[in-house]
Amino acid sequence: LPHYWRTMVVLLTSDGLSSPALQAEMQRQCAAVAAKAGGGIRMWYIPTAALHEGANSRVVASMSKQIADRFSISDVAVIDPEHVRHDELERQVAQLRPNVVYAEMGNTYALRHHLRNSGGDTLVHNAMRAGALFVGSSAGSIVAGRTVQTAFWKDWDDRTANGSIRVDWTDPKLAAGLDLANGRSFFPHANGQYARATWQKAQAERHGHTDHEVIILADGEGYLVDGDVGRYVA
């Protein structure tokens, strides 16, 4: 495993910071980030997934502001790697120097594709190497894992992002996630019928995901990876 994984902190959620336990954990992690930074928290908010599930720029601006206000984040930049790419994306992220990266819920495939095609995935890894906290919500949590193919289990998301992308997501290399959680993958919204262990086992077997750990998250739950240690937050 890359050596910097031993110092990475990743908080992955099913549906955002929706429970008191998750909010308290976010408060603790933001306090730790602020202590390391000697003050200010600077958040790169990635809206790509949400923008492919019906949100507009005004909605994602409001969503990012709610997070910033609740957790005393002093500087927020909403930067969409679908439209800000390569050198310009690198310039904007370097100017921000994020110590929190927040990947919003929405279309998993759009988020993974545009992070890869823009160079954003490298910038996320660079931020993590520098000690940033990564927070994922739903699609953001899936993309942070080893594979995004856990989105196949329910198959809710449009694999073409409304016809805007063409990727063979059955190819394990193209479906590789950011792999920020020590080789784990993530399955959010494990509610109702999707909470059944027999159904989950069948999906893992059907899609070839029995070779590594898949973290199952119901709404209101999260999973914290702090270096080599992982634990549920609920």
pLDDT digits (tens, 9 = 90+) for 20-40: 999 999 999 999 999 998 879
**Cβ-Cβ contacts under 8 Å for 163 (sequence gap 6 or more):** none
Decide: residue 17, CB within 10 A, 0-12 exposed, 13-18 middle, 19+ buried. buried
**Residue with token string 């890894």:** 125
Which two three-digit tokens encode residue 20? 């008191």
CB 181 within 8 A of CB 228: no
> For a pLDDT cut of 90, what percent of the chain falls above it?
94
CA atoms within 13 A on the CB side of 204: 19
CB 172 within 8 A of CB 178: no
For residue range 85-101, list pLDDT tens digits in order.
Answer: 999 999 999 999 999 99
**pLDDT at site 2:** 58
Strand partners, 233: 222
